[in-house]
Amino acid sequence: MKLYKRFTMVAMAFLFVLSASACGAPKEADNQNSGDVSVAQTETAEQAVEKNGSVMILFTSDVHCGVDQGFGYAGLAQIRQSYENQGYTTILVDDGDSIQGEALGTLTKGEAMIELMNAVKYDAAIPGNHEFDYGTDRFIELSEKAEFPYISCNFNKEGELVFDPYTIIEAEGMRIAFVGVTTPTTIVTTSSSKSFMNESGEYVYGFMQEDNGQALYEAVQNAVDDARAEGVDYVYVLGHMGMEANAGPWTYADVISNTNGIDVFLDGHSHDTEQVVMKNKDGEDVVRSACGTKLNCIGYSLISPDNGIEETNILIWPNKNNAPEIFGIENEISGKIDEKMTVLKETLNKVVSKSDVYLTINEPNQLDSNGNPIRMVRRAETNLGDFCADAIRNQSGADIGFANGGGIRAEITAGDITYENVINIYPYGNEICLIELTGQQILDALEWGSRLVPEESGAFLQVSGLSYEIDLSVESGCVADGSMMAGIEGERRVKNVMVGDEPIDPDKTYTLASSDFLLLNDGDGNTAFRGAKVLSDSIKLDNQVLIDYIEETLGGTIGEEYSDPYGQGRIVVIDE
């Protein structure tokens, strides 16, 4: 870590302490839905502050409903107020993926997050790909509830922009343009991609996703040029583009290298914290800054009247406990968050569906020697395992669905099902992903998942769209490098693998859905998915998949098809 970053962390600690008794509410801002936005320089009667002429732009990205994590929204509000108390005029913007990610967003379909963003007094925001997870119509409805403008130069309906491409904010005699741009991968990675279509299945919404990237570059350039023509002093891009290799030709680097006129590119999407200086198409330096996820960082860019853009970087919060908790911050925002969390707890107890059967992770007819349940979801098929894998396959449209046994954490009893019951099954909020891979990779994954049977393994795979046998007379030939699969030797214990009614073809390509933990991060040491083609790295949260499967496909009730606690015969363990 560079020295100035260390200094910033120490300085921020003092900033919190010094501001603990400050009036907690951020300043008022005169926000409009388009055109110029004038940042008011209001001061309290008790504490008049002389402005120093500088502007501090604060930015967040990929908050994913983590309002009480990292710095937290309460800490963000306190930081902003502290800068105001030191004489800075502040502007607060967001780079997308704010309204989805945890139960607070899921159970209010994003509305609670918009209300909190209003309370924190954001000045502008852009849609990330996950802003559309509750449907395009729902996001547009939420955008109308926002007391700040959403901007995007490439989100369009039948060729017409849905939002203004940029907004101009006047502060301390400076005119600062913010141009919004949303990753074109949204069209295929959002969990509700069908909401971009009309009744005939034709796309009516788009993100200028032409393969060569030229349409996107042109949209950004036109917005920058139009803003410059209005006489702005600086142009900031609010991007939800990221740096992922499979996102080309639409990464932040692609956009910067194919445009000019951008001073600073504030970026999100890939959850990184990289601070980069790179050349635009004219060979001029452009700063790119990203600030992670879940408010573990807050970005800033300082503009002074004498030196222009002096510094763009991030404030880092490395502690497990959140800043408001450690510093005892109580302000208007902390109170609103407490209110939302209280309502959330009430919502979690609401009945959302029902089950006619008991879905288990345990052996239904036996207890261990101490009278405790015997867990079997990590070594054999169960009806809950079938249900989870079916939900993943159904909601992704994949040929095959995998649910790793170690990720299924709770049961569903017969009767009413609450939101909390569903979320407790998948408490971690992993993303469901879709990949394309060979039959051989699937065979390797099954072999690794079955290597410890009849003993438990979190890597054991519950399946949908596929069946297989495990021959316990064959010793596992899996070779491990530490905890990671490094190869498979000798005879295989996984046999008679069927995809639907057909034997699996090792050379054939299949689509498979499961969690990002398993497919993208070598979860449980399973390296079989490396090199697979990622079709979507973010379909929707795993617990949301379960909720939507029950409500949309099963008609609100889990029925008799899941009545057998040992499942539907998809996994047969041969012990002779």
Average pLDDT, integer, range 155-166? 97
Q: Where are the domains of the chain?
A: 3-19+54-345, 351-574
In 160-318, the DSSP E strands lie at 160-161, 166-171, 174-182, 205-206, 234-240, 264-267, 275-279, 285-290, 297-304, 308-316
Decide: 359 and 411 in contact? Cβ < 8 Å: yes
Q: Which among 430, 416, 94 is positioned nearest to 240, based on CA atoms?
A: 94
pLDDT of residue 18: 41
Give the closest residue to 164 by CA, choosing from 175, 148, 176, 186. 148
pLDDT over threshold 80, residue 7: no
Tally of CB atoms within 10 A around 61? 35
The pLDDT of residue 288: 98
Least confident of 21-35, 298-312, 462-476: 21-35
Task: Supply 352's token pair.
Answer: 């959302």
Q: What are the tokens at 509?
A: 């390509």
Residue 529 tokens, joined? 């998915």
pLDDT at 133 (0 to 100) = 81
Token pair recorded at residue 422: 């569903």
- pLDDT for residue 374 is more than 50: yes
Report angle CA 47, 50, 51 to the nearest 5 degrees: 125
* CA 151 – CA 125 distance, rounded (Å): 6
Q: Which of 144-158, 203-217, 274-288 has the lowest mean pLDDT?
A: 203-217
Strands 55-60 and 275-279: unpaired
Which carries the bigger pLDDT value, residue 98 or residue 185?
A: 98
**Span 250-274, pLDDT tens digits:** 999 999 999 999 999 999 998 899 9
367 confidence band (pLDDT: 50, 70, 90): confident
Q: Greater confidence, 537 or 279? A: 279
Q: What span, in angstroms and rounded, lies between the C-alpha atoms of 340 and 323?
A: 18
- Residue (of 39, 500, 62) closest to 268 by Cα position: 62
Average pLDDT of span 229-257: 92
Candidate from 35-44, 129-138, 413-422 with smallest mean pLDDT: 35-44
Q: Which residue has the tokens 């509750």?
A: 134
d(CA 114, CA 220): 26
What local confidence, expressed as pLDDT, does residue 24 receive? 33
* Alpha carbon distance 506, 513 (integer Å): 18
Q: How far apart are CA 121 and CA 506, in angstroms?
A: 55
**Antiparallel, parallel or unpaired: β 264-267 and 275-279:** unpaired
pLDDT digit string, tens, across residues 46-66? 456 899 999 999 999 999 999
Average pLDDT, stretch 86-95?
A: 97
Fold type of domain 3-19+54-345:
Purple Acid Phosphatase; chain A, domain 2 (3.60.21)
C-alpha–C-alpha distance, residues 111 and 208, integer Å: 27
pLDDT at 482: 67
* Secondary structure, 3-state, 418-431: EHHHHHHHCCCCCE
- Token pair, residue 346, equals 């009430």
Which residues are CB-neighbours of 474 under 8 A, at least 6 positions away?
A: 491, 492, 493
| 295 three-class SS | coil
Tokens of 208: 């200028």
Pair of tokens at residue 434: 């879709």
Contact status, residue 565 vs residue 360, Cβ threshold 8 Å = yes
- Give yes or no for residue 539 having a pLDDT over 50: yes
Task: Say if residues 96 and 126 touch (Cβ distance below 8 Å).
Answer: yes
**Mean per-residue pLDDT, 138-163:** 97
Angle, helices 136-145/111-120, rounded to nearest 10 degrees: 30
The answer for residues whose C-beta is within 8 angstroms of residue 238's C-beta and 6 or more apart is 59, 93, 94, 95, 96, 124, 125, 126, 151, 178, 179, 180, 181, 266
CA distances to 180, 441, 559 from 95, in Å: 8, 36, 42
**What's the CATH architecture for 351-574?**
Alpha-Beta Complex (3.90)
pLDDT at 19: 46
Q: Is the pLDDT of residue 16 over 60?
A: no
* Predicted pLDDT of residue 346: 84
| pLDDT for the residue 22 | 39
Mean pLDDT over all residues of the chain? 88
Question: Which is it for the CA torsion 254, 257, 260, 263, positive or negative?
Answer: positive
C-alpha span between 447 and 93 (Å, rounded): 48
Of 15-19, 437-441, 488-492, give the lowest mean pLDDT range.
15-19
